[in-house]
Chains A and B, each alone.
Chain A
Amino acid sequence: AQSVTQLGSHVSVSEGALVLLRCNYSSSVPPYLFWYVQYPNQGLQLLLKYTTGATLVKGINGFEAEFKKSETSFHLTKPSAHMSDAAEYFCAVSGAGGYNKLIFGAGTRLAVHP
């Protein structure tokens, strides 16, 4: 069984500040991990993913995430927030088993203020 916990339903940062969105997962099999972003009234767009290999993963729009197996974490970071980063962010886990059932966290809404 798999599950995802996102710490903090709302995060607020100043423009130019570090963005840190937290994600912890539980998985009985080696996980594949994802971050998606959702802008208002739109579908979900893949930001980045971890499957195997390098544990530091770079995505679009300057975001990156690090897979830490010992901490069962996959936190999302961006060194300098931009106003356009304001959106809802979802962490998701998929098992390395026979099919791609994606399980999502509850989401974190990021606000960026001037």
Chain B
Amino acid sequence: NAGVTQTPKFRVLKTGQSMTLLCAQDMNHEYMYWYRQDPGMGLRLIHYSVGEGTTAKGEVPDGYNVSRLKKQNFLLGLESAAPSQTSVYFCASSYLGAREAFFGQGTRLTVV
């Protein structure tokens, strides 16, 4: 039972490069989220989705885009990476109405 799987687990980017982080869940969850974790700041919500084909902005959406073309996948894109986007990124998913979220193992991204 895989749960929430994030790809890749580690990545180093140069400033200005682009990349896409992939999140896949096999629990048939309606809701999916992308968070970033920075020391002393907890987890901050970047974007989220309440269903296939829908996305919404969270607390810190600037510099990121997302897509949810299939219910099981939620993609996070960085069009032009900046050093300020160096962080650990977590994807999560939850059932409609269940409230608690299930998390992936994280992606550690370094932008140099």
- Report how many residues on chain A are interfacial, defined by Cβ distance under 8 Å: 25
9 pairs of A and B residues whose beta carbons are closest in the complex: A43-B103, A106-B42, A104-B43, A104-B42, A44-B103, A32-B99, A43-B105, A94-B99, A107-B42
Contacts of B40 in A (CB 8 A): 9, 106-107
Q: When the two chains form their complex, are residues A102 and B33 in contact, meaning their CB atoms are under 8 A apart?
A: yes
Determine the chain A residues whose CB is within 8 A of the CB of B35 once the complex forms: 104
Q: How far is the CB of B48 from chain A (nearest CB, A)?
A: 6
Give the residues from 100 to 114 in chain A that come closer than 8 angstroms, CB to CB, to chain B.
100-107
Looking across the interface, which residue of chain B has its beta carbon closest to that of A90?
A: B42
User: Chain B contacts of A61 at CB under 8 A?
Assistant: none
| Residue A46 CB within 8 A of the other chain | yes
Q: Do A106 and B41 touch across chains, with their CB atoms under 8 A apart?
A: yes
Using A49-B99, A102-B33 as known contacts, list a sample of 17 further A-B pairs with CB atoms less than 8 Å apart, ordered by residue number in A: A6-B42, A41-B106, A42-B106, A43-B103, A43-B105, A44-B43, A45-B103, A46-B102, A49-B100, A100-B99, A100-B101, A102-B45, A102-B100, A104-B43, A105-B42, A107-B40, A107-B42
Number of interface residues of B (CB under 8 A): 27
A36 surroundings in chain B (CB, below 8 A): 103
**CB proximity of B52 to chain A, nearest CB, Å:** 14
Pick the residue among A44, A100, A104 that contacts B98 (CB under 8 A). Answer: A100
Which one of B41, B50, B101, B105 has the highest number of Cβ atoms from chain A below 10 Å of its Cβ? B101
B100 interface neighbour in A4, A34, A42, Cβ under 8 Å: A34
